[in-house]
Structure 1
Amino acid sequence: MRIKQKTCALLAAAATVAAGLTAIVAQPATAVPATIPLKFTNNSGRAEPVYIYNLGTELSTGRQGWADAGGGFHPWPAGGNPPTPAPDASIPGPANGQSITIQIPKFSGRIYFSYGQKLVFRLTTGGLVQPAVQNPSDPNRNILFNWSEYTLNDSGIWLNSTQVDMFSAPYAVGVKKPDGSTISTGRLKPGGYNGFFNALQGQPGGWGNLIHRKPDGSILRALAPLYGVETGALPASIMDDYVNRVWSKYSTQTLTVTPFANQPGLKYYGRVSGGVMNFTNGSGQLVTSFQKPNASSIFGCHQLLDAPNDQVRGPISRTLCAGYNRSTLLTNPNQPDAGNSGFYLDNVTNHYSRKIHAQMADGKAYGFAFDDVGHHESLVHDGNPQMAYVTLDPFN
């Protein structure tokens, strides 16, 4: 799911990983230990010190906190209002060309890393306040950082690279399987980092406004378009033309959604009538309805495209969100799409996600919250992981 500043730690991070779970059938783990090793390698080519944080929810208790380098859990102390400084949860990272191995416990959470200086975390009475660099006053705004999300439980590990909130410091993730082989994702093509920012800067329509720079002009990140709309960097009407065309098409035609790949006979049928898109099941019964979505709803997969954790509206909404971001609803009335050849071809589309996918070595990314619809997400999973990997990649 989309990740916004939270007063409760890592709810959205857990949702993002969970989104990947719906598309993957986990293999039973033989015996996932209490912690597994994570090898953290710095191939960035940068000289600044690196700081690592492992923040999340302890699955055995539901407590929120942080893990030290040995995998030991530390619950957050009570916060305050205004927020109070959180304990220093940083782990010294490896220098360029070096690696360290830490232990990660059974968490649902995030592995942050920052260059040059430590991140600023605070605690409210509701829990941890996440960095929210779309806010100009956020203390982390001028820090170069990024994060990966993971869930480690009795069924194994799910580990992703994510660009749902922003595209920033490049990295890849991987998992070592019991047979000794390794699967990985998240790596950019050679030249992909600069290629992405150059392409985004050159995209007409204000997309270059998503790029954040330090006071010295060096690039920090590109915000996801949801935050571009929320902050005014992108016009709120940026998706209206496409939505209007979708609304017109399905006033006279039917949009068929088959939300579960393993249930090809379960279909829902959408038609626009009376200003809403109504979905019926195979018996003709109305199951849910959607108002015409705006750009915020599309880019955030929320609000008018809310996706509750149910078996009807949520799966339909996920599919619609993917179709709007990829601009395939006009070209394919049977959703989701079988492949990616038709993605992002309309002039009105999520150009941020389009340009991220174009620079990925394997084509996979979390360019928006439900990029896992159809298995296009940058996620690795194994039911009996021997080791996890995070590798900081060059800025080229």
Structure 2
Amino acid sequence: MLRTLGRRTLATGLTLATMLAGSLLATGAAAPAGAATPATAAAVPATIPLTITNNSGRADQVYVYNLGTQLSTGRQGWADADGTFHPWPAGGNPPTPAPDAAIPGPAAGQSKTIRVPKFSGRIYFSYGRKLVFKLTTGGLVQPAVQNPTDPNRDILFNWSEYTLNDDGLWLNSTQVDMFSAPYSVGLQRADGSSVSAGKLRPGGYRGLFDALRGQPGGWSGLIQTAADGTVLRALSPLYGVETGALPAGVMDDYIDRVWQKYTTSTLTVTPFADRPAVRYSGRVSGGVMRFTDTSGAVVTSFDKPDASSVFGCHRRLDAPNDQVRGPISRTLCAGFNRTTLLVNSQQPDTSPAAFYRDPITNHYARAVHAQMADGKAYAFAFDDVGHHESLVHDGGPRQARLTLEPLD
């Protein structure tokens, strides 16, 4: 279960640059407000300040890591507190220890400012213990806590994903892989205003675990605890299915009903909000859903997915970065996870009032969104379809922030 940075699948979380491309393609959105034009791109400096504030209330030492890909060279590595890039040395097989990239974080009630360079990667933070990173011949091995032998399994940690480039900063909070130590993100725009995302409502951290414990069907199996019983995280349902913590057939009833419905009716997908004339019609025949364009030509087809395909938006719902299959697949993935495909044959359905209403649904994503102060989160790979993601962006950011929130 090794995962190497830069070669992640949708199931394990893309770098934000690729996620952003998928978001704009899937939703048909224009570039986010404030995005830099070529004439103003030079205004984005080589590094910007990121202030980390520790409002967790925990006495543990915090460790921070800035890991990813240097955009100017494509090299993988880490950045220190000053924003200086350090490429990873060659790895090995078996994996070899990575250099210690830890930056001491702020104590409870304090803040610390580091600088982040033009990078696409992750800001990790951990409580009490440093994270263990190793290097293979293919790159960095990231924590994979769905594996019970992963050395980070008993560490409380989390991460944010970001891209800083000549067009600005994209910074998100993510629950695609897991829900764990809470945090929020924010930035100050070029005009001096601020925006934030990812903050839980009061009691939201414990509320998520309570919701999973109270949900029949094995959803409590996603919760991982330390040896002393302390809750560490909830795995995503994809990892739950992969590890057997969640029944593999947990979505079968809904998937079967969708396939049956569109044997006798048509599913219309209009994946680009700004191009309503681009639409595709899907019908199931012989167990395969085939999509045709407005001329009637078959453009792509999908075998009936399973829970892994739905939760990971991969395998039978693979979504390449193209102009046809990818946008259709992303729309299907959102519809399956939010269980809107039976109540609305016109997709995407972007109204949250319709999401997660079926008894068979992605209850992890439902619970994550329910605990967010603004209802927005990245609870599955294409949760940005319809702009329901926890993302902040600006084309000329002055500074960014990451706030470690209380575990209550």
Relative to the length of structure 1, the TM-score reads 0.97
- Correspondence 1:125 to 2:137: yes
Deviation per residue, 1:127-181 (Å, 9 max, x gap): 1001000000000000000000001100001100000000000000001011211
- The counterpart of 2:149, out of the listed 137, 147, 152, is 137
1:80 aligns with 2:77: no
Q: Report the alpha carbon displacement of residue 70 of structure 1 after superposing the two structures with TM.
A: 0.4
In the TM superposition, 1:4-153 aligns within 5 A as 5-9=2-6, 11=8, 12-14=14-16, 15-22=18-25, 23=29, 25-26=31-32, 27-28=35-36, 30=40, 31-153=43-165
> Does the Cα contact within 8 Å between 2:337 and 2:361 map onto a contact in 1?
yes
SS at match of 1:373: coil
Secondary structure of 2:310's match?
A: helix
Q: Percent identity?
A: 72
Q: Does 1:345 align with 2:357?
A: yes
SS, match of residue 38 in structure 1: strand
CA deviation profile, 1:331-382 (whole Å, cap 9, x unmatched): 0000001311100000000000000000000000001000000000000110
Secondary structure (helix, strand or coil) at the match of 1:341 reads helix
Distance 1:8 1:148 in 2: 14
**d(CA) in 2 for partners of 1:54 and 1:320?**
33
Match of 1:303 in 2: 315
Q: Deviations over 1:64-123 (max 9, x none)?
A: 000000000000000011000000001000000000111000101000000000000000
- Deviation string 1:253-302 (CA, Å, 9 cap, x unpaired) is 10000001111111000000111000000000000000000000000000
Task: Describe the shift of the 1:24–1:209 C-alpha distance in structure 2 as closer, same or farther (beyond 3 A).
Answer: farther
* Aligned counterpart, 2:172: 160
**Would you say the 8 A contact 1:20–1:379 is kept in 2?**
no
Partner of 1:193: 205
Does the residue aligned with 2:49 lie in a helix, a strand or coil? strand
The reply to whether residue 289 of structure 1 matches residue 337 of structure 2 is: no
CA distance in 1, matches of 2:146, 2:238: 10
1:226-265 CA distances to partner (integer Å, 9 max, x unpaired)?
A: 0110011111111110011001110111000000111111
Whole-angstrom CA distance in 2 between matches of 1:25 and 1:17: 10
User: Is the 8 Å Cα contact of residues 5 and 68 (structure 2) preserved in structure 1?
Assistant: no
Q: SS of 2:353's equivalent? A: coil
Partner of 1:19, secondary structure, is helix
Q: SS at the partner of 2:126?
A: strand
TM-score under structure 2 normalisation? 0.95
Matched residues in 1 for 2:30 and 2:246: separation?
34
Question: What residue number does 1:243 align with?
Answer: 255
The residue identity in structure 2 corresponding to 1:205 is G
Shift in Å, 1:6:
2.1
Q: Whole-Å Cα distance in 2 between the matches of residues 349 and 91 of structure 1? A: 40
Correspondence 1:201-220 to 2 at 5 A: 201-220=213-232
Structure 2 unmatched runs, 5+: 9-13
| SS class of match (2:232) | strand
Tell me: CA distance 1:5–1:188, structure 2 relative to 1, closer, same or farther (3 Å): farther
SS of match in other structure, 2:64: strand
- Segment of structure 1 superposing worse, 163-172 or 25-34: 25-34
Number of residue pairs matched by the alignment: 393
Cα-Cα RMSD: 1.1
Asked if structure 2 preserves the Cα contact closer than 8 Å seen for 1:13 and 1:109, the reply is: yes
SS at match of 1:318: helix
SS in structure 1 of the partner of residue 370 of structure 2? helix
Question: What is the identity, as a one-letter code, of the residue corresponding to 1:287?
Answer: V
Query: Are the aligned partners of 2:133 and 2:142 in contact in 1 as well (CA < 8 Å)?
Result: yes
* Secondary structure at 1:299 match in 2: helix
Q: Which amino acid aligns with 1:7?
A: T
Match of 2:336 in 1: 324
* Runs of 5+ consecutive residues of structure 1 not aligned to the other structure: none
Alpha-carbon deviations, 1:193-243, whole Å to 9, x = none? Answer: 011111111100000000000000000000000011001111111111001
CA distance in 1, matches of 2:165, 2:243: 37
CA pair 90-380 structure 1, distance change in 2 beyond 3 A: same
2:244 maps to a residue whose letter is: G
Give me the whole-angstrom Cα distance separating, in 2, the residues matched to 1:118 and 1:393: 19
Structure 1 consecutive aligned stretches of length 4 or more whose deviation exceeds 3 Å: 8-11, 14-24
Does the residue aligned with 1:355 lie in a helix, a strand or coil?
A: helix
Give distance in 1, aligned partners of 2:387 and 2:258: 24
Paired with 1:142 and 1:104, the residues of 2 have a C-alpha distance of 28
Q: Which amino acid aligns with 2:31?
A: V
Opposite residue 362 of structure 1, the aligned amino acid is: D
Pairwise CA distance, 1:24 = 5.0
1:387 aligns with 2:399: yes
Could you tell me which residue of structure 1 aligns to residue 11 of structure 2? none
Matched residue, 1:359: 371
State the distance in 1 between where 2:92 and 2:79 align: 22
AA aligned to 2:246 is L
